């Protein structure tokens, strides 16, 4: 999907928190935090014209000239003076100057047979804020800004969205942590001669100083900015490069890797999409092996950037990227780390706990109709890690931008140890090895840790026994396994519920492209009642590059409405890729996806709730502002508004209260109201189809209750929170407010209700509970027979507009109404602020109020807290003005409901409801393992203690790889990545008595053998000393001297 030229997309997020440690290793540290802010803007009149192939500059100019021959455009191809300018390219930056028919020119370009796409040029601005670190956990706590004269402090020129205030705290000094290389046991590989030699690593960041004493092999430094410098003026790029390849003081994992430094940010912390595209092309030309990108953002719709990442990985470049520092919120993954072909890395601390700053899944590309994918892929240490400082010495830094180069260095080290197998090492196989070897963290769900913690030595052994194959992520689906399978494990399946969607990533280690042969097959296990499960399967028609999706939909069949129990089965599929070079036969690999679920009888209607996901919009693609206007440092609403992302805590509370929650990702015409007591419409930004409004009216008459939780909407405030972009010299307006009040009022008009356009905030008490109202709205119409609750609040809108914020008395904020159409009619509840339910803005939750509201909507019983606080009937003149849609808004560009037509707006045709095709069952009379993860790990786990590394394979000597104890042979690794490959017909467990007896016999035999040996061969002191030296020598050869802090020369 194309980037949009009419909206500024600005994201402010912390991508790393930095603790500066002055005087490396001297025990005295000065800890600071660098908070990085990113903004992404569209550049006026500049467009990236992407071509279908690589062409020389003269050919590209001819194509553009031919496409614009019949237009009146005054155009110019902007020069790009960088190392890639002498090579053929697949894009140009085009300036359309003062073109009144710009859209016509763009369409002419897009219609040219050699042009792939035309998208706006974008600029990226990064801002560093130096602040003191809190005395508590390095991931948490308040911070205080500290002046740093030697470091520039840049702030965007925004009228409204600008961070304000300073927070202070005390702090404790910390001891300097150990070398990250020792903790990951990189020393063991170094002592085998594996040090990163032969691997090219590209670092895209802020540059590196010439002759930095920490680096042995800086092959090339290139500058892609308009500044005349290769050096790092900020220090971030030096730190990242140091974690990968430093050979002194604070050590990197691959000290002999060949570094290629790409300076893509200026000292003013500005970059452009075109700079990245040129630099990516050059990385392909230089045939780099690994590329680290410790930056990111939520804009997964910047299509030229996403396309180029696909092209990079298609050229066998292994990209490693930070997953983001927007945790602990869910739905905060950054791009490109959230792409299937990229290794997305999250962060943990040295206690093996998920770092608070580390972004959580799921991906939000697939919303509202589908479900997000599993990310991050793996996690590793990213908190208080030591790395290289800008000129010399070391410092500490925290963030996923730290964890990413740790994994990039590990990948370079692993690759250098498998150079003799380089033909089968690619982005998919490397990710498969990292995932299969990762150690799962207990009590942490998969959207926080991915497949687990990086284990360098286990990954090394797996790479040496790997054969090209297909694997899945996640490798099994167990809806009964908590905590790892959260949120799937929190709610059982039942007949009549919305089908549960699980989005599985298919990793294809066979080749860059492939396809699924035939169709995936569903195999229910007869002994485990698998026939009670209906399974629908959708999948990528082509797996490229290296990956694709497998969407699995699970539902209970019609014969199991009153049945309770566990069901199991598996999905089998075969992937085929073209033959490798020199062969003629295509390559194939088969894989199985184990499925396990709990089924319960259909819950009563009073306990069932439907969440409307279809009418929630988020960034990208449009500029949808935050619901809380006090959050000036993070203006974009980009977390998905899903019950498993920023409404996670609300969902868990409702489930704990005994309710069952389904998600509707289709129009309101696509559900059966007889199945549900309550429809939840929370923070909706989308318009409604006329057919939806008509159906909802009849549904309420038939007994459905509706709860609407809104947010602010005011045209004047929307204009005030616009951005002034100094690059484009234009103002950019939001596409709606916190919620779409005009659309909600059309829905509510059937019952004589309406919401206003006041923006209100304040603290109040309700029923003994402290409440906070954050940028909410108010009721202006409500039926006289309804119950309305009033509170005194401040006029936040007036403050934003520059006036004095006055207290407004008796503001109607909550209304409860029983429809009187007939005796079975449902109920309507309207509340003006969603921030007390939303983790993104939560200050004081109102879950208790939601409990009382749901009790009213499901049973008709109104809680006493509402009766005792009810005010007078809300009476307004019938002609009281309602909020109107802001003129010249661009909501139609991103809406699923409305579109532009002949200079106006019209409603789109109502889409058909989703129709799933259930896969025909292929029953198997087999028994499955009760613990799918345990069955997987029994096939792939390696010894936890000192392990015997394969020296012959590591050094590339001899024939095939030698299998040491605990290392899987090639034939078994395919099963290790996918647990159900080794399903047994029966499970045999040895008796505890038998085990105890065996251990007793072994102990007795050992005792007598040792006693006999002591009589025959006396052990002298010198002999004991020689034995001890031999044991120490073997241990050093296996693990290396992890405390020496030295890197062996190669």
By annotation, the residues acting in catalysis are 205, 236, 401
Three-state DSSP state, 826: coil
Contacts of 502 (CB under 8 A, 6+ apart): 371, 477, 488, 551, 552, 553, 554
Positive or negative, the CA dihedral 301, 304, 305, 307 is positive
Q: How many angstroms separate the CA atoms of 584 and 441, rounded?
A: 44
Q: How many angstroms separate the CA atoms of 23 and 28, rounded?
A: 7
Q: How many angstroms separate the CA atoms of 896 and 688, rounded?
A: 9
* DSSP assigned state of 419: G
- Phi and psi at 1024, nearest 5°, equal -65, -40
Which two three-digit tokens encode residue 421? 């197998």
Decide if 464 contacts 961 (C-beta within 8 A).
yes
Decide if 812 contacts 754 (C-beta within 8 A).
no
CA triple 498-502-505, angle to 5 deg: 155
Tell me how crowded residue 488 is: count the other CB atoms within 10 A of its CB. Answer: 24
DSSP for 644-696 reads TTTTHHHHHHHHHTT-EEEEE-S-GGGS-GGG-SEEEEES--S---HHHHHHH
CA triple 587-592-594, angle to 5 deg: 165
Q: How many angstroms separate the CA atoms of 106 and 1032, rounded?
A: 71
CA triple 17-1042-949, angle to 5 deg: 110
Query: Following CA atoms 10, 15, 19, 23 in sequence, which dihedral angle do they give, to the nearest 10 degrees?
Result: -100
DSSP for 949-964 reads --HHHHHT-SSSPPPP
For the chain, give me the number of helices (H) and strands (E)?
23, 40
CB-facing half-sphere around the CA of 436: CA atoms within 13 A? 34
Question: How far apart, in Å, are the Cα atoms of 88 and each of 56, 309, 402, 604, 761?
Answer: 4, 18, 34, 66, 57
Element (H, E) at 120: strand 115-132
Question: How far apart, in Å, are the Cα atoms of 507 and each of 820, 894, 975?
Answer: 56, 31, 14
CB-facing half-sphere around the CA of 1018: CA atoms within 13 A? 3
Q: Spell out the alpha helix ranges (H) of 68-212.
A: 102-110, 180-183, 186-190
- Phi and psi at 690, nearest 5°, equal -55, -35
Q: How many angstroms separate the CA atoms of 233 and 984, rounded?
A: 60
* DSSP assigned state of 196: S
Q: How many angstroms separate the CA atoms of 687 and 684, rounded?
A: 8
Decide if 362 contacts 371 (C-beta within 8 A).
yes
b/e 155-174 (16+ beta carbons within 10 angstroms → b): ebebeebebeeeeeeebeee
Element (H, E) at 319: strand 318-322
Decide if 913 contacts 670 (C-beta within 8 A).
yes
Chain centroid to CA 527: 38
Contacts of 820 (CB under 8 A, 6+ apart): 785
Query: Cβ-count burial of 931 within 10 angstroms (0-12 exposed, 13-18 middle, 19+ buried)?
Result: middle
Q: How many residues does the chain have?
A: 1050
Q: How many angstroms separate the CA atoms of 873 and 787, rounded?
A: 7
Q: How many angstroms separate the CA atoms of 490 and 483, rounded?
A: 9
């Amino acid at each position: 999907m194309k980037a949009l030229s009419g909206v500024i997309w600005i994201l402010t997020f912390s991508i790393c928190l930095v603790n500066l440690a002055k005087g490396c290793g001297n025990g005295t540290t000065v800890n600071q935090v660098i908070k990085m802010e990113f903004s992404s803007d569209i550049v006026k009149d500049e467009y990236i014209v992407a071509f279908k192939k690589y062409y020389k500059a003269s050919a590209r100019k001819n194509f553009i000239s031919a496409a614009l021959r019949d237009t009146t455009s005054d155009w110019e191809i902007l020069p790009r003076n960088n190392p890639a300018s002498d090579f053929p390219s697949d894009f140009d930056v085009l300036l359309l100057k003062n073109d009144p028919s710009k859209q016509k020119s763009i369409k002419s370009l897009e219609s040219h047979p050699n042009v792939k796409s035309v998208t706006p040029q974008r600029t990226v601005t990064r801002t560093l804020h130096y602040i003191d670190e809190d005395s508590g956990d390095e991931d948490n706590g308040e911070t205080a800004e500290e002046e740093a004269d030697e470091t520039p402090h840049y702030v965007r020129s925004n009228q409204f969205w600008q961070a304000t205030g300073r927070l202070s705290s005390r702090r404790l000094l910390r001891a300097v942590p150990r070398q990250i290389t020792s903790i990951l046991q990189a020393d063991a590989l170094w002592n085998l001669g594996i040090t990163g030699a032969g691997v090219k690593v590209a670092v895209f960041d802020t540059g590196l100083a010439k002759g930095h004493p920490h680096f042995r092999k800086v092959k090339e430094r290139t500058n892609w900015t308009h500044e005349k410098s290769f050096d790092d003026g900020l220090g971030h790029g030096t730190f990242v490069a140091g974690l990968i390849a430093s050979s002194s003081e604070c050590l990197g994992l691959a000290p002999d890797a060949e570094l290629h430094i790409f300076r893509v940010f200026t000292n003013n912390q500005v970059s452009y999409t075109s700079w990245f595209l040129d630099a990516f092309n050059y990385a392909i030309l230089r045939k780099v092996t690994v590329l680290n990108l410790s930056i990111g953002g939520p804009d997964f719709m910047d299509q030229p950037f996403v396309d180029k990442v696909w092209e990079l990985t298609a050229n066998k470049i292994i990209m490693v990227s930070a997953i983001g520092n927007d945790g602990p919120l869910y739905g905060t993954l950054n791009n490109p780390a959230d792409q299937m072909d990229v290794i997305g890395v999250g962060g943990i601390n040295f206690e093996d706990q998920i770092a608070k700053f580390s972004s959580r899944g799921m991906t939000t590309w697939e919303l509202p109709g589908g479900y997000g994918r599993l990310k991050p892929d793996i996690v590793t240490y990213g908190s208080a890690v030591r790395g290289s400082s800008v000129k010399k010495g070391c410092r500490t830094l925290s963030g996923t931008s730290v964890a990413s180069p740790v994994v990039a260095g590990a990948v370079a080290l692993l690759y250098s140890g498998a150079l003799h197998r380089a033909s089968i090492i690619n982005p998919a196989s490397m990710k498969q090895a990292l995932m299969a070897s990762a150690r799962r963290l207990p009590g942490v769900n998969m959207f926080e840790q991915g497949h687990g913690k990086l284990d360098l030595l286990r990954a090394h052994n797996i790479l040496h026994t790997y054969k090209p194959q297909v694997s899945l992520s996640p490798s099994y689906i167990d809806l009964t396994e908590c905590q790892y399978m959260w949120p799937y494990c929190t709610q059982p399946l039942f007949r009549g519920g919305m089908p549960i969607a699980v989005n599985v990533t298919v990793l294809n280690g066979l080749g860059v492209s492939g396809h699924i042969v035939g169709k995936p097959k569903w195999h229910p296990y007869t002994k485990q009642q698998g026939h009670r499960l209906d399974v629908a399967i959708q999948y990528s028609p082509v797996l490229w590059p290296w990956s694709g999706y497998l969407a699995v939909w699970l539902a209970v069949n019609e014969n199991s409405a009153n049945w309770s129990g566990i069901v199991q089965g598996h999905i089998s599929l075969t992937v085929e890729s073209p033959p490798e070079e020199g062969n003629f036969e295509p390559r194939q690999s088969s894989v199985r996806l184990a499925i396990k679920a709990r089924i319960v009888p259909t819950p009563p209607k009073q306990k069932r709730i439907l969440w409307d996901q279809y009418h929630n919009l988020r960034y990208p693609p449009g500029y949808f502002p935050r619901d809380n206007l006090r959050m000036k440092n993070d203006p974009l609403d980009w977390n998905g508004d899903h019950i498993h992302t920023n409404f996670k805590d609300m969902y868990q509370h409702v489930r704990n209260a005994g309710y069952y929650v389904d998600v509707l990702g289709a129009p309101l015409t696509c559900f059966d109201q007889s199945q549900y007591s309550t429809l939840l419409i929370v923070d909706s930004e989308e318009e409604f189809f006329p057919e939806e409004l008509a159906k909802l009216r009849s549904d309420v008459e038939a007994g459905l209750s509706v709860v609407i939780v809104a947010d602010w909407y005011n045209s004047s405030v929307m204009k005030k929170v616009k951005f002034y972009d100094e690059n484009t010299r234009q103002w950019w307006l939001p596409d709606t407010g916190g919620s779409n009040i005009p659309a909600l009022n059309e829905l509510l008009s059937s019952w004589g209700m309406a919401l206003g356009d006041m923006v209100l905030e304040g603290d109040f008490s309700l029923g003994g509970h402290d409440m906070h109202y954050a940028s909410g709205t108010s009721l202006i119409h409500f039926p006289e027979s309804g119950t309305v609750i009033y509170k005194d609040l401040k006029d936040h809108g007036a403050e934003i507009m520059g006036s004095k914020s006055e207290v407004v008395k008796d503001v109607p904020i909550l209304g409860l109404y029983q429809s009187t159409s007939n005796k079975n009619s449902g109920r309507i509840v309207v509340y003006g602020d969603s921030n007390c339910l939303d983790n993104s803005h939560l200050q004081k939750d109102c879950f208790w109020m939601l409990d009382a509201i749901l009790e009213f909507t499901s049973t008709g019983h109104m809680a006493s807290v509402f009766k005792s606080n009810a005010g007078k009937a809300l009476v307004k003149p019938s002609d009281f003005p309602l909020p109107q849609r802001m003129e010249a808004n661009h909501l139609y560009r991103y809406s699923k409901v409305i579109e532009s037509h002949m200079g106006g707006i019209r409603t789109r045709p109502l889409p058909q409801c989703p129709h799933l095709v259930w896969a025909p069952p292929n029953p198997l009379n087999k028994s499955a393992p009760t613990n799918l993860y345990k069955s997987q790990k029994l096939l792939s786990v390696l010894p936890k203690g000192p392990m015997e590394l394969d020296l012959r394979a590591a050094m590339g000597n001899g024939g095939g790889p030698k299998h040491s104890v605990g290392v899987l042979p090639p034939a078994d690794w395919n099963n290790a990545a996918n647990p159900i490959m080794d399903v047994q017909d029966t499970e045999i467990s040895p008796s505890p008595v038998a085990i105890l007896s065996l251990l007793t016999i072994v102990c007795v035999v050992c005792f007598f053998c040792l006693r006999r040996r002591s009589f025959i061969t006396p052990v002298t002191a010198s002999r004991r000393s020689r034995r001890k030296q031999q044991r120490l020598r073997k241990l050093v050869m296996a693990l290396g001297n992890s405390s020496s802090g030295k890197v062996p020369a190669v």
